[in-house]
A and B are shown apart, each in its own frame.
Chain A
Amino acid sequence: MQSFTLEPFPTRGQIHILLYKNVSNAAELRKRLLSHDQELSYAFIDAKMVLDKFQLLVATNDAVQHELNSSLKTHNVHSEIVYSLSPTTNISESLRRFGISDSSTSIVVVKVGGNSEEARSHLSTLIHGEECDIKDFSNFVDISRIKKYYKIDDKINDQNEMLDIIVGSIAIKSVS
């Protein structure tokens, strides 16, 4: 787990990012998310679609901005993070592509605000899996899927260059 501050919105509290592998109950989590279970106030993201923590932070920053402007496109700030990660404005497609699916085994969790240890212990009761270091994103990422969904030119193979385009696609969404 790692915690960050969003400099543009310092009063919203810290952003906590956690990574889990060998998760066995993704289907159950997804079902609870679909039924708007209030206990799950976290963003659950498929780790296949995450290249770097900066990608998550930029999307979270956008989501928090929408929350504070009361311009959320989805139900709450956490689902908005998943939506913000996507370069398209189609909500159900964004949640399907970037959120967890029934078969997900590696999951990234983003939590806005609250105490980090409380979030971690709460999550350990929710998720059946092992927590790992968020430096390990590269072990789970699916580059071909990232390229497809972010429409990145096939000639680009440098991960930093990819990240630049991903971050730009997320940022430009608010004005496209």
Chain B
Amino acid sequence: MIESAILIKQGAEARIYTAPFLTRTAIIKERFSKTYRHPTLDKKLTARRVTQEARCLFKCRKSGVDTPVLYFVNTENSTICMEFIQGMIIKDLLISDNEYIQNKEKQDELAEKIGIALAKVHAVDVIHGDLTTSNLMLRESNQSLVIIDFGLSYVSSLPEDKAVDLYVLEKAFLSTHPNSEEMKNYKASQGILSKLAEVRLRGRKRSMVG
């Protein structure tokens, strides 16, 4: 671990630090071991998740989605170094920025950006897995929408998985930002949208009866 790293956030899966990295500033995501798991299993699971996150992150970046740039992956100590994004988290923007609270046009513009970015992510069959307004940012320099935290991401081409991804985002909007129902913009194939209607009726989890 880099000595001068500063802890900025701690979640259930990982700790987030900022640190100087080869002339730039990086975000370091360190997955820690879970003591309640068997050590061998823990090591395998953690290594796999680090790998999976790095791959999905880079896959999206390469296909033109604005995501943090991947700098360094170290499976030995389960860390990923990536670009530090200068900007605002969408959640804070929608809660505390008056411009976004009052201006309908601003909201529509943001919704369009989110829709376009998600369409690109799903176009390369990456399922983000944790779409909430806390995992979306607006880059300060060019107001581009940045998708962050690919910790729960995986690759799948199933409309079902893409629909659930959208459903999770919709629920996140409704629960953290009431009265935001009108903010929707995602040009997807009919298949995914009809699946979404299905998922809305039954919830995120599939029925396992029968």
Contact = CB atoms under 8 A, between A and B. Distances in A.
Nearest to B5: A7
B3 A58 contact: no
B209 interface: no
Contacts of B76: 65, 69
A174 B19 contact: no
The 8 closest A-B pairs by CB, nearest first: A57-B22, A168-B70, A175-B51, A164-B69, A171-B70, A7-B2, A168-B58, A172-B58
Contacts of B50: 175
Contacts of B21: 7-8
A8 B72 contact: yes
Contacts of A171: 54, 58, 70-73, 81
B3 A10 contact: yes
Contacts of B55: 172, 175-176
Contacts of B71: 58, 167, 171
B54 A54 contact: no
Interface string B56-91: 001001101000011111111000010100000000
Interface in A27-75: 53-54, 57-58, 61-62, 65, 69
Nearest to B61: A168
Q: How large is the interface on A (under 10, 10 to 19, 20 to 34, 35 or more residues)?
A: 20 to 34
Interface in B1-28: 2-4, 19-24
Nearest to B26: A7
Q: How large is the interface on B (under 10, 10 to 19, 20 to 34, 35 or more residues)?
A: 20 to 34
Main secondary structure of the interface of A (DSSP, over half): helix
A171 B82 CA distance: 10
Contacts of B64: 153
Contact of B61 (A8, A65, A164): A164
A57 B71 CA distance: 10
B26 to A, nearest CB: 8
Interface in A1-36: 4, 6-8, 10
B21 to A, nearest CB: 6
Contacts of B70: 167-168, 171-172
A165 B19 contact: no
Interface in A140-171: 153, 164-165, 167-169, 171
Contacts of B73: 171-172, 174-175
B61 A7 contact: no
A153 to B, nearest CB: 8
A86 B123 CA distance: 27
Nearest to B71: A171
Given A61-B72, A171-B54, A54 B22 contact: yes
B127 to A, nearest CB: 19
